[in-house]
Structure 1
């Protein structure tokens, strides 16, 4: 019995679960005040993923790494930045729930799954993981920095900055 499709199916399943978790967390976040820590901890926590590059099978050419990082910055972060807004309520700063966010996350997930299949044909599974980590890191850092900038503007309007 040929089970060579199992890793790809597992990868798709994990991506779908992570996408659902992101949507759930983001929708719940709009009902609680946000803070500097809530905005900046995800990219800081994610940065520990760079440790994977100590494992030689994850090494990719510098040009590929730069391309993955830039794709995250230039293409994938922009829709998230556009849908991340804040407002003041009761002296606290809240994220504004965006109807477009869920659709953007689903679209990004579909694009990621399609790209994953193409990339996996050209490089090993550990290298694919490394490239998609760089893509995701390139997406999350500008998004969170834009969120932080907007958060501080609303905080300043409340006279708390």
Structure 2
């Protein structure tokens, strides 16, 4: 077995273990705090801005990063719609549960990342820094738009519940 095959096998086992525990935890809801949804995208956005400032993409790499940001935003919005948001009719407390489809979407994206890294790295089509920039931009779009969609939907649900009460 080659070292590269061992690396893939270890990564696959790690993903399967994490997936097992995450799928087991899908039955439980977690509190959804609207006032905290901005924190993760902001921190990752600061990280991305620092990365782009420290080592900015060049030429066509900016287009790849912009395309990845748009694609990440679209997938993030879709993933946000897949998240289950429930509201307690008495206390109006919000809870979220990750749907299995949303979790499998992330696993698929991780798999796609491995494939693209190998294909783009092997052909020399895009330098490694450009691939990293594209994935960072993709992640910022995904995280931000997922939370924007969840915020808007939860706020609307909360307003409807308070209006009906």
Distance 1:42 1:101, change over 3 A: same
* Residue 43 of structure 1: how far off its partner (Å): 0.5
Distance 1:145 1:34 in 2: 13
* Residue 78 of structure 1: how far off its partner (Å): 4.5
The answer to whether the 8 A contact 2:121-2:128 is kept is yes
SS at match of 1:112: helix
* Residue 145 of structure 1: how far off its partner (Å): 0.6
Aligned to 2:38: 40
Distance 1:29 1:118, change over 3 A: farther
* Residue 109 of structure 1: how far off its partner (Å): 1.8
Aligned to 1:123: 126
- Number of aligned residue pairs: 149
Aligned to 1:84: 83
Root-mean-square deviation (Å) = 3.4
Q: TM-score, normalised on structure 2?
A: 0.70
Aligned to 1:152: 155
Distance 1:99 1:139 in 2: 17
Aligned to 1:68: 68
- Structure showing greater radius of gyration is 2
Distance 2:33 2:157 in 1: 11
> Which of 134, 138, 149 lines up with 2:137 in the alignment?
134
Distance 1:78 1:116 in 2: 24
Gap runs ≥5 in structure 2: none
Distance 2:121 2:37 in 1: 32
Larger mean CA deviation between 150-159 and 40-49 belongs to 150-159
Gap runs ≥5 in structure 1: none
Distance 2:27 2:151 in 1: 15
Q: TM-score, normalised on structure 1?
A: 0.72
1:12-23 matches, within 5 Å, as 13=11, 20=18
Aligned to 1:99: 100
Aligned: 1:108 with 2:109: yes
Distance 1:29 1:138, change over 3 A: farther
